[in-house]
Amino acid sequence: MTSEREQHGAPAGNLALVTGASRGVGRGVALGLLAAGFRVYVTGRSIDQADLPPEMRRLRCDHLKDEQTARVFDAIRSECGRLDLLVNCAWGGYERMAEGGAFTWPAPFWDQPMHRWTGMMDAGVRAAFVCSAHAARMMTPRHRGLIVNISFWAAQRHLGNTIYGIAKAATDKMTSDMAVELKPYDIPVISLYPGLVRTEAVLAAAESGAFDLSTSESPEFIGRVINGLFHDPNLMTRTGQVLVAAAVAKEFGVLDIDGKSPPALTLADI
């Protein structure tokens, strides 16, 4: 039995995997990369039901289960033989923010439900680590690739709850240390901070006045920024760094889907 790769040859163009692409930032990244000409693989627990174009290769995956993650990379290796870009968006930290009629998200650490640790650290940080390890095994022999970890300002100040800060700080440290080990192979690793993104959850909350969307970003904007980074000939000079998506966009002249240039938030703005 021949594989797709054997039948049709390795695919032309750049190949990206976006984890956690069923909704939110992950879905937007996948759409942005597809529009930029990438061949896009997407994963998620509910990826089969996601509102995504048929051109994307959907691989259902619960990244809490290592064997399912391994099957994703086995499929990419079998069908394409390579991976050019990994964007780690898988994240379970925004699930079950309210329980029993109480909004538990901002509770002190001693009152936090432990499923939040699992959602942020295991479905988030650990999933990114495991996916990056698989990706590195495919990228290092070719000395080509880029790994992007979606992170946020909670790494640098208290925002919401302690577990959130731990998870984002761990993501940034993971990025920094992976960059050291991948530098001899010319593979950059970046932590990327979005601003306020118009995800499904944010739009729903905005209807009640919870958010001012005047300076917000579309989910696709992040994909556009990542495409700009991928094609930056000097990207290795940024490896291991934390980058603010809107600041990178201004540098590269990248606009949002509405033609606007979102402001680059700073720590003082958060």
Q: With cut-offs at 50, 70 and 90, classify the pLDDT of residue 210.
A: low
> What value does the mean pLDDT of the chain take?
92
Q: Which of 1-15, 52-66, 98-112 has the lowest mean pLDDT?
A: 1-15
**pLDDT value at position 172?**
98
* Predicted TM-score (pTM) of this structure: 0.93
Q: With cut-offs at 50, 70 and 90, classify the pLDDT of residue 214.
A: confident
Count the Cβ atoms, other than its own, within 10 Å of residue 106.
12
Strands annotated E in the chain: 15-18, 39-44, 57-60, 85-88, 98-99, 102-103, 146-150, 189-193, 242-244
Q: 126 φ, ψ to 5°?
A: -65, -40
For the chain, the structural domain boundaries read 4-269
In order, the DSSP letters of 29-77 are: HHHHHHHTT-EEEEEETTGGGS---TTSEEEE--TTSHHHHHHHHHHHH
Strands annotated E in 159-224: 189-193
Report helix, strand or coil for 243: strand
Instruction: Flag whether pLDDT at 44 surpasses 70.
Output: yes
Q: With cut-offs at 50, 70 and 90, classify the pLDDT of residue 55.
A: very high
Dihedral sign for Cα atoms in the order 172, 87, 114, 95: positive
Which are the catalytic amino acids? 164
Instruction: Find, among 246, 264, 194, 261, the residue nearest to 26 by Cα.
Output: 194
Residues 5-32 have pLDDT tens digits of 433 445 668 999 999 999 999 999 999 9
Instruction: Flag whether pLDDT at 4 surpasses 70.
Output: no
Q: Looking at residues 155-178, what average pLDDT do you find? A: 96
**pLDDT value at position 6?**
35
CATH class, range 4-269: alpha beta
Residues 232-246 have pLDDT tens digits of 999 999 999 999 999
- High-pLDDT (> 70) share of the chain, %: 94
**pLDDT value at position 95?**
83
Local structure of residue 185 (DSSP, 8 states): G
Pairwise CA distance, residues 226 & 26, whole Å:
12
Instruction: Flag whether pLDDT at 46 surpasses 90.
Output: yes
Instruction: Find, among 71, 68, 79, the residue nearest to 45 by Cα.
Output: 68
